[in-house]
């Protein structure tokens, strides 16, 4: 994935390459962590590329782009063949990261974002929240109103979710009627409020699937914070959020359950109780708490 970045390191003296990279999508350039690109093979950019556009079979790629609606924004090949080709590649990358039905990030993109989130949390210690959502009784929608209505519901919810979060957050379609939201830099005290806002927004949504039929759906939501200052894994993170989603479902749906277990924090109140005596400078605190007369080994041997 992060070839753009690797190229920028290898060929920093090559202005044309840099120019190209600056135009590639931002997520490639942002992956600024050595762990993210373990020795990907990269073509030596000092050798001029002799590839001509006529030698490439771009038919399938262009058909895909046309279907995705991005073919018109390409730079004409006669103007700059390299920019044209770059546009084709960028367009394909974008397609490969999107869910075709809802336009949200797909699972592939979701995992990249999660991995990046974990790196950021491990390095900066800021908390990141992962929410997993599942539409309640979605099968009923499909069974009663048909799959097309089901698709409309999915699209409406996708739009609603995107409207509920900040531009820096990622909304992804995780599976059938399951969505995921990754919220980097989301303070622990705000998590519940954000999740609740999303739940309410979906609940308030009127989805008209035909001129006469309007549907209302609800979602169940589970959330977990990435453990702070710990380099965790995406699997463990999603597992924990999933567990909470399961809880939300089994507790009656249309609700939010957040996992707080991994939030390792010791409150001021706890600290106060731990060392309250120390802070007061009371030298008698040890004797006061130590009621019995058990001696440590040292005192037994030391005269």
Partner 1 sequence: MSEIQPSSPENPKPSTLPVAPFGKVLAVTSGKGGVGKTFVSANLAAALAKRGQRVLVLDADLGLANLDVVLNLYPKITLHDVFTGKAKLEQAIIKAPGGFSVLLAGSGMVEYSRLTPEVRDDFLKIVSGLIPHYDVLLLDTGAGISDVVLFAVSLASEVLVVATPEPTSLTDAYATIKVLVGQQARKTVRLIVNQTARLGDGRAITAQLQQVLDRFVTPESGQGVKLLHLGDIPADPMVRQAVMRRQLLMQTMPGCPAGLAISQLATKVMDTVIPR
Using CB under 8 A, list all residues that contact partner 1. 132, 134, 136-140, 174-178, 227, 229-233, 235-236, 238-240, 242-243, 245-246, 249, 261-262, 264-267, 269-271, 273-275, 277-278, 285-287, 289-290, 292, 294-302
Nearer to partner 1, 85 or 161 (CB): 161
220 close to 134: Cβ distance less than 8 angstroms: yes
Nearer to partner 1, 19 or 239 (CB): 239
Minimum gap (Å) between residue 246 Cβ and partner 1: 5
CA distances from 169 to 184, 186, 253 (A): 7, 10, 24
Nearer to partner 1, 20 or 195 (CB): 195
Residue 117 phi, psi dihedral angles, 5° rounding: -60, -40
Minimum gap (Å) between residue 187 Cβ and partner 1: 19
Residue whose tokens read 């007369």 = 293
Which residues have a catalytic role annotated? 177
SS3 category, 205: coil
Nearer to partner 1, 76 or 283 (CB): 283
Alpha-carbon 76 to chain mean position: 35
Nearer to partner 1, 86 or 142 (CB): 142
Minimum gap (Å) between residue 113 Cβ and partner 1: 16
153 close to 135: Cβ distance less than 8 angstroms: yes
Minimum gap (Å) between residue 127 Cβ and partner 1: 15
Minimum gap (Å) between residue 289 Cβ and partner 1: 4
Alpha-carbon span 97 to 175, nearest angstrom: 14
What residues does 170 pair with on adjacent strands?
182
Residue 63: CB atoms within 10 A of its CB come to 11
Q: How long a stretch of residues is the chain?
A: 303
**CA 131, 134, 140: angle at the middle one, nearest 5?**
170
Sign, Cα dihedral of 135, 140, 142, 144: negative
């Amino acid at each position: 994935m992060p070839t753009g970045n690797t190229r920028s390191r290898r060929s920093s003296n090559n202005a044309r390459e840099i120019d190209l990279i600056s135009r590639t999508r931002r997520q490639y350039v942002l992956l600024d962590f050595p762990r993210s690109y373990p020795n990907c093979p990269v073509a030596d950019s000092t050798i001029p590329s002799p590839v001509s556009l006529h030698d490439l079979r771009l038919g399938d790629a262009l058909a895909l782009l046309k279907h995705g609606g991005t073919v018109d924004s390409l730079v004409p090949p006669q103007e700059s063949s390299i920019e044209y080709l770059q546009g084709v590649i960028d367009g394909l990358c974008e397609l490969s990261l999107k869910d075709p039905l809802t336009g949200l990030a797909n699972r592939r993109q979701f995992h990249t974002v999660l991995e990046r989130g974990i790196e950021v949390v491990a390095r900066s210690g800021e908390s990141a929240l992962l929410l997993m959502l599942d539409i309640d009784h979605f099968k009923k929608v499909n069974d009663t109103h048909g799959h097309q209505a089901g698709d409309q519901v999915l699209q409406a919810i996708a739009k609603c979710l995107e409207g509920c979060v900040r531009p820096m957050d990622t909304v992804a379609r995780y599976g059938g009627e399951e969505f995921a939201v990754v919220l980097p830099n989301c303070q622990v005290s705000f998590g519940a409020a954000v999740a609740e806002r999303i739940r309410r927004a979906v609940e308030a949504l009127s989805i008209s699937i035909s001129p006469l039929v309007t549907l209302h759906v609800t979602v169940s939501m589970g959330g977990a914070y990435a453990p702070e200052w710990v380099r965790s894994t995406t699997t463990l993170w999603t597992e924990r959020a999933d567990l909470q989603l399961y809880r939300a479902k089994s507790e009656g749906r249309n609700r939010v359950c957040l996992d707080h277990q991994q939030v390792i924090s010791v409150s001021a109140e706890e600290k106060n109780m731990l060392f309250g005596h120390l802070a007061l400078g009371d030298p008698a605190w040890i004797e006061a708490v130590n009621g019995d007369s058990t001696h440590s080994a040292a005192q037994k041997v030391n005269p």
